[in-house]
Structure 1
Amino acid sequence: MIDPVALASRLIACPSVTPEDAGAIDVIAEALEAIGFTVHSFWAGDTPDGPVRNLFATRGQGGPHFAFAGHSDVVPAGPGWGTDPFTPVIRGDLLHGRGAVDMKGAVAAFIAAAARIPDHQGTLSLIITGDEEGPATHGTLALMAWMEERGIRPDLCLVGEPTSAHRLGDTIKIGRRGSVNMWIEVPGTQGHVAYPHLADNPAPRLIRILNELDGWTLDTGNRWFQPSNLEITDIAIGNPATNIIPGVARARLNIRFNDAHRGADLVEHVRQVVARHAPRGTVEARISGEAFLTEPGRLSTLVTDAIHRATGLEAELSTSGGTSDARFLSRLCPVVEFGLCNATMHKLDEAVAVADLHALTDIYADIITHALQG
Structure 2
Amino acid sequence: MNAKELLIELLKFKSITPNDDGALNFIALELEDFEAFFIEKEGVKNLLLTKKFNDEGEHLAFGGHIDVVPAGEGWENEPFNPVEKDGFIYARGSQDMKSGVAAFVSAVKNANFKGSRLSLLLTSDEEGEAKYGTLELLKFMEEKNMLPGYAIVAEPTCVKSFGDSIKIGRRGSINGKLLIRGKQGHAAYPEKAINPIHDFAPVLKFLAGFDLDPGSAEFAPSKIVLTDIRAGLGVSNVTPNDLRLMLNVRNSNDTSVEDVRNYIEKLCHGLNYELFLTQSSKPFLTDANSKIVQKLNQSVQKISGVVPELNTKGGTSDARFFAEFGVNVAEFGVRNDTIHAVNERVSVEDFEKLCLVFKDLVENF
> Which TM-score band (shorter chain)?
over 0.9
Which amino acid in structure 2 is aligned with residue 125 of structure 1?
A: S
Partner of 2:128: 134
The 5-angstrom pairing of residues 1-374 of structure 1 reads: 2-33=1-32, 36-45=33-42, 51-60=43-52, 62=55, 63-117=57-111, 120-214=114-208, 216-274=210-268, 276-278=269-271, 280-297=272-289, 298-331=291-324, 332-371=326-365
* Sequence identity (%): 38
Residue 100 of structure 1 aligns to a residue whose secondary structure is coil
Which amino acid in structure 1 is aligned with residue 39 of structure 2?
A: F
Which amino acid in structure 1 is aligned with residue 3 of structure 2?
A: P
Q: CA deviation at 1:301?
A: 1.0
Which amino acid in structure 1 is aligned with residue 312 of structure 2?
A: T
Question: Relative to 1, partners in 2 of residues 1:100 and 1:193: Cα closer, same or farther, differing over 3 Å?
Answer: same
Which amino acid in structure 1 is aligned with residue 90 of structure 2?
A: H
Deviation by residue 1:123-146 (Cα, 9 ceiling, x = unmatched)? 000111111111111212222222
Question: Relative to 1, partners in 2 of residues 1:263 and 1:3: Cα closer, same or farther, differing over 3 Å?
Answer: farther
Question: Relative to 1, partners in 2 of residues 1:210 and 1:20: Cα closer, same or farther, differing over 3 Å?
Answer: farther
Q: CA deviation at 1:206?
A: 3.0
8 Å CA contact retained: 1:205, 1:277? no
Aligned residues: 361
How many Å separate the matches in 2 of 1:209 and 1:129? Answer: 43
How many Å separate the matches in 2 of 1:295 and 1:105? Answer: 26
Q: CA deviation at 1:241?
A: 2.4
Residue 280 of structure 2 aligns to a residue whose secondary structure is strand
How many Å separate the matches in 1 of 2:131 and 2:315? Answer: 17
Aligned Cα RMSD in Å? 1.7
Which amino acid in structure 1 is aligned with residue 46 of structure 2?
A: N
Flag structure 1 segments of 5+ consecutive residues without an equivalent: 46-50
Q: CA deviation at 1:101?
A: 0.6
Q: CA deviation at 1:199?
A: 2.4
TM-score (normalizing by structure 2): 0.94
8 Å CA contact retained: 2:74, 2:342? yes
Q: CA deviation at 1:15?
A: 1.5
The runs of 4+ residues in structure 1 deviating greater than 4 Å are none
8 Å CA contact retained: 2:185, 2:238? yes
Flag structure 2 segments of 5+ consecutive residues without an equivalent: none
Q: CA deviation at 1:118?
A: 5.8
Q: CA deviation at 1:175?
A: 1.0
How many Å separate the matches in 2 of 1:282 and 1:76? Answer: 36
Residue 101 of structure 1 aligns to a residue whose secondary structure is coil
8 Å CA contact retained: 2:177, 2:245? yes
Which amino acid in structure 2 is aligned with residue 181 of structure 1?
A: N
Partner of 1:48: none
Residue 214 of structure 1 aligns to a residue whose secondary structure is coil
Residue 269 of structure 1 aligns to a residue whose secondary structure is helix
How many Å separate the matches in 2 of 1:321 and 1:7? Answer: 28
TM-score (normalizing by structure 1): 0.91
